[in-house]
Amino acid sequence: MTSLKQNLTPIKMRNYGRILQDMVNYACTIEDESQRQALTMYIAQSMRQKNVVWNKEQDANLHRVKEDIARLSDGKLNCEFPEFEALMQRPLPQLNKMPQKKKNKK
């Protein structure tokens, strides 16, 4: 019987969780710039979605996501590339709206 290794490192930002923190740590180790940028964009999109869930009245804006990525990566990840800016300008899908029921015509 093998035991699972437990991750005991503290979570830096609880609102994002350990998975995003681990993804940021992994992105810091990637040497290929295009792969690092692609993963950074995915992480940023996930952070925006989590910000909307945790802070319904606040806007999940570009500045906050950049600051949080810099804080989680200890300044190792750079968000200053054109694709990042374009991604962050896209609107997020509405998560809290219930679909409307179709009325049956008889």
Residues 6+ apart with CB under 8 A from 20: 43, 46, 47, 50, 72
Which has the higher per-residue pLDDT, 40 or 104?
Answer: 40
**Amino acid 16: pLDDT:** 83
Q: Please state, in angstroms and as integers, the Cα–Cα distance from residue 34 to each residue in 27, 38, 65, 67, 77, following that order.
A: 11, 6, 20, 21, 12
Structural tokens at position 97: 């709206």
Q: Read off the pLDDT of residues 43-102 as tens digits, 9 standing for 90 and up.
A: 998 888 887 777 765 555 778 888 899 999 999 998 888 887 777 777 766 555 555 666
**Amino acid 74: pLDDT:** 92
